[in-house]
Chains A and B, each alone.
Chain A
Amino acid sequence: MSQYEWPDHATQPLIGKRISRVDGPAKSSGRAKYTYDYNPDGLLIGRIVRCPYAHARIKSIDTSAAEKMPGVKAVEIIQKPGTEISWAGDEIVGVAAVDGPTADDAVRAIKVEYEVLPHFVSDAEPPKNIAAATGPISQDEFEDMQDNQVPDDQVIAILRKQGVSFTADEKWYKAMEGYGVDPKVLTALKAAKVLPPSESKSPYKRTATVKQGDADKAFASAAATHEGLYGIPCIVHCCLESHGSASEWSGNDLTVHISTQNLSGIAAQMAEPLSIPASNIRVLQQNIGGGFGSKFAADRWDIAAARLSKSAGGKPVKMMLGRDEEFEVAGMRPSAFARVQIAADKSGKLVAWQSNSWGTGGMGGGGSPPIPYIFQIPNQHKQHTAITTNQGSARAWRAPTHPQAAVITMCPFEDLAAKLEMDPADMLRANMDILGPRAKVYAEELEIADRLMGWKQRWHPRGDKTAGPVKQGLGLSIHTWGGRGHSSDQDLSINPDGSVDIKLGSQDLGTGTRTVIAIVVADTLGIPVEQVAVMIGDNRYPPSGGSGGSTTVGGVSSAARRASVDARDQLFEKVAPALKAKPEELEAANGVVRVKADPSRSLSWKDACAKIGAVPLTVRGKNPDKTKPPDLTNSGVGGVQMADVSVDVETGIVRVNKMVAVQDCGYIIDLKTAESQVKGALIMGIGYALYEEKILDPVTGRVLNPNMEFYRLAGLNDIGELVVHMMTGKAYDDRGVIGLGEPPVISPGAAISNAVANAIGVRVPFLPLTPDRVLNALEKGGAA
């Protein structure tokens, strides 16, 4: 029986150590090729005519002038006259031309007439008198209720009363079971009547009120109560490589180079609109310049590129979005705002929560944040209003809904602590027993974070009383995420010449996917990392899941472990006779295959592989694989973060001095890239805490800052000192591999906002904490 379980870090040469990423040299030298770099002979450049209005109906389209222009090779109408357009920047016509300037001219030559319709882009607080929705529950709403831990009996009652507007397949039900949705809820869902979705003219959709315990009574008898307004606006992904693809046809076969987080899923998405079997579509991608949740789909512009290529006789058409298009149509993170009331007893233990929250995900849903976040407060009363706005739809943005939930929960938490004149770290300690399944993790992490920040020595009550305009403060936040490994199939081959390759239809977002696979294989086979060729980015390789929700590392490492253990054990069988030993008496380490009890009896890796014969030894590794226990991945992590900031109360400028992140992610494969994930998340968090906001013009309905001057990312000068501590040791390692991409990006907004409040003595209600917002808060709240 093969032993698949993860080996002890202490005994291993590679796993759990700091290993440099295997594609580092290609990326550093500029040799790494991205979709945007695809540049074959005869390449045509695609561009899109986009709607300039946030809400309109297409009256007419005249492409005749563009079609006659020299160098224009194809023109395709994407949305026909009569179609209602719901956001500025939506795709109307695609063109392909011999080069970019010619395609730009063709776009300008296309005349589209619109009937302009009234638009709505405001996500300001909704009117108070909106009735709760009584119509059927959509899939989005159902999933939201689960994310928000609406009590099962309430979900069942709502499903019975209101019905549903969707039917789901078995796969979805299985997934819901996997997320831990109670079977009796799923039974009620299956039994619910299916009704057409409710047609409402109002942009506001209020959920039913969720009640737990007796909030009114708990507030009345609480030792301290705080009420406040909190929020976080829409932000964008701003992947440095914009969305896009290049398509080319050979007969009825399509080859697509695409910037995607979902390589194995793209063909199925393109097959239907293009009316060809998915098996005719080859999907390729060596490197991706960022995704962060926004690159799962074959988008309308990708389909347009494929159609343009077909019209142009199959020539390759590359369609990459411009930066302004990227900001308008390629996804955003939903906003979330809330009026919150929170109460505690005199020990600081939370006893009651009341919230009216709202936010927009554009034209689609976007999810309501799971508030109160993590704390299982016994008495709750909450409702959420989803606002439909005329802007490009939300897409998953690294840890969907969680950063918003952290802000809306951890900021009132610290405000309440201030009211109780308690150190928030102590108040967190007082609430450990309502922190759910990860409580013990938070308790350990909090003490480590406290030490690394010097919190105990440095924390001061709200409002830095020292002289001078620059005030210093500390703040904290906690977060959680799932991160169970996705399904992944991989083919591992040990070749007779000793080379090793492993193939899978995955992608490396810069998280280190190639590197962790190489480490697992090399460690298991006892060879150097450089000897393993990890081949990804081709959908002819075995399918592997999309890289979202921190599911990749658990999936690919588990499958790679199973594949390499099987391959190694099969190699042992071939080699054993030559070493006059039984296969189970052998081990592979330090580049040799040897007898465990007598290491002098050994063969070099190369000589051992020569025993394979002429045909490579190839095995298929899978995740999940119940036939090859144990489960090598797990779900559920906790993290604690602390921020140290300085605020100039004369200019309103906030600077981050230091961030501390203490994070668990189960069994770590590569400590170096793991730490990089956390540091990167802290920096992204500093960006959305201090600078990032997608600003919509209420008059035109367009994005006012669709560029990188006025939508500012954090720069090297903005980040302060970053201290990362990864939790390791038996209790963590034994849980298996858990994803890390999302969790550390959740807390920075709340922790930094809390640190600013601690520095200046007043809460700046909304992120980003720009100088004008800081000065406004100071003016309203009185001088610090």
Chain B
Amino acid sequence: MPDDKRRKPEADPGVTRRDFMKISALGVAVPAVLGPGVADAVAEEVAIQGPGKVPITLLVNGKKLSAQLEPRVTLLDALRENFDLTGAKRVCDRGACGACTVLMDGKPVYACAVLAIDAQGREITTIEAMAEGDALSPVMQAFVAHDAQQCGFCTPGFIVATTNFLQTHPSPTPDQIRRGLSGNYCRCGTYDGIRAVVLAHAGGQQS
């Protein structure tokens, strides 16, 4: 983060939690067992962001996207509301359901549980970049063929998770499937189709 973006809180409502941590860190003797590296880390100047809007730049689907956002804005809300990437859905908004799954540096994350400001400098990939132009990706095609979707609201999150799962587990065992795809919920009950998608893919890989 460039220095000019470091700043004090615009309004000072008293001691913030972050201030408190700083004060504690500087004021309390660091136990020797932590070692010098830790002592350096806690003594380092911490950048204060917000509470007003700050410029935020995200690398999404290979493009740099910038907006003025409050630091409390999640990656999910930034994607949906500021960049009109509405494939990731806002459902539970607290990291429980997986409907907002995106890839961050190639790993699936719940975009509702990541602050946009913390996602800076990371490579974000959303469902919108997973179709191959106008054509569907093989996983998307398989979701259609196996009817692994009904209302479709969980589908983008599931496809991001499934695509990543199949890349990391090209020949998954049934147990890996159960564990690997338990991070997303569907209310219409399309899991049987999703399971078929994964099994068909695994069969194709093995044959």
Contacts and interface: CB of A to CB of B under 8 A. Distances in A.
Contacts of B190: 676, 679-680
A511 B150 contact: yes
Given A24-B149, A39-B80, A100-B77, A717 B185 contact: no
Contact of A709 (B77, B94, B143): B94
B124 interface: no
Given A34-B153, A39-B84, A101-B73, A673 B192 contact: no
B141 to A, nearest CB: 8
Contacts of A509: 150-151
Given A28-B155, A241-B153, A323 B187 contact: no
A101 B93 CA distance: 14
Interface string A313-337: 0000000101100000000000000
A528 to B, nearest CB: 16
Nearest to B154: A240
B178 interface: yes
A627 interface: no
Interface stretch (B1-9, B12-20, B29-37, B126-134): B126-134
Given A290-B188, A683-B192, A30 B145 contact: no
B133 to A, nearest CB: 10
A716 B181 contact: yes
B147 A27 contact: no
A657 B34 CA distance: 50
A716 B194 contact: yes
B89 A289 contact: yes
Interface string A82-126: 000000000000000001110000000000000000000000000
B149 A30 contact: no
A238 B96 CA distance: 13
Contacts of A713: 185-187
A414 to B, nearest CB: 25
A581 interface: no
A717 B183 CA distance: 10
Contacts of A26: 152
A242 B136 CA distance: 27
A719 B192 contact: yes
Nearest to A40: B84
A52 interface: no
Contacts of B201: none
Contact of B86 (A33, A99, A100): A33
Interface residues on A, range: 35 or more
Contacts of A511: 150
Nearest to A320: B90
Interface in A288-320: 288-290, 292, 320
Interface in B29-76: 70, 72-73
Nearest to B129: A30
A511 to B, nearest CB: 7
B89 A36 contact: yes
B110 to A, nearest CB: 11
Instruction: Name, among B99, B147, B155, the residue most crowded by chain A CB atoms within 10 Å (CB to CB).
Output: B147
A100 to B, nearest CB: 6
Classify the interface of chain B: helix, strand, loop or mixed.
loop
A101 B181 contact: no
Contacts of B188: 290, 510, 680, 684
A160 B132 CA distance: 70
Instruction: Name, among B73, B136, B149, B187, the residue most crowded by chain A CB atoms within 10 Å (CB to CB).
Output: B187
A287 B151 contact: yes
Given A25-B144, A709-B96, A101 B187 contact: no
Contact of B182 (A20, A679, A683, A715): A715
Contacts of B193: 676, 679
Interface in A331-381: none
Contacts of B186: 240, 683, 713, 716
Interface in B65-123: 70, 72-73, 77, 80-81, 84, 86-94, 96-97, 99
Contact of B147 (A100, A242, A672, A716): A672
Interface string A231-254: 000000011111000000000000
Contacts of A242: 91
B189 A683 contact: yes
Contact of A510 (B143, B150, B185): B150
Contact of A679 (B77, B156, B189): B189
Given A30-B126, A39-B86, A240-B99, A24 B147 contact: yes
Contacts of A287: 151-152
Given A30-B128, A708-B96, A24 B182 contact: no
Interface string A36-61: 11010000000000000000000000
Given A28-B140, A510-B188, A240 B91 contact: yes
A708 B97 contact: yes
Given A100-B77, A289-B152, A322 B192 contact: no
Contact of B191 (A323, A683, A708): A683
A320 B195 CA distance: 31
Given A511-B150, A716-B191, A24 B81 contact: no
A28 B144 contact: yes
Contacts of A288: 151
B86 to A, nearest CB: 4
Contacts of B150: 509-512, 676, 680
A100 B156 CA distance: 23
A29 interface: yes
A194 interface: no
B185 A323 contact: no
B135 to A, nearest CB: 9
Contacts of A510: 149-152, 188
B192 A32 contact: no
Given A25-B140, A240-B91, A708 B131 contact: no
Instruction: Name, among A238, A239, A289, A672, the residue most crowded by chain B CB atoms within 10 Å (CB to CB).
Output: A289
A29 B131 contact: yes
A680 B195 contact: no
A594 interface: no
A240 B97 contact: yes
B144 A21 contact: yes
Contacts of A681: 189
B72 A101 contact: yes
Contacts of A653: none
Given A24-B144, A709-B94, A709-B96, 8 more contacts: A30-B88, A240-B185, A240-B187, A509-B151, A672-B147, A679-B190, A716-B186, A717-B179
17 contacts: A21-B147, A25-B140, A30-B130, A30-B159, A240-B154, A241-B89, A242-B91, A289-B89, A292-B187, A676-B150, A676-B190, A679-B189, A679-B193, A708-B185, A713-B185, A715-B182, A715-B184
Q: Which 3 A-B pairs have the closest CB atoms?
A: A30-B87, A683-B189, A289-B153
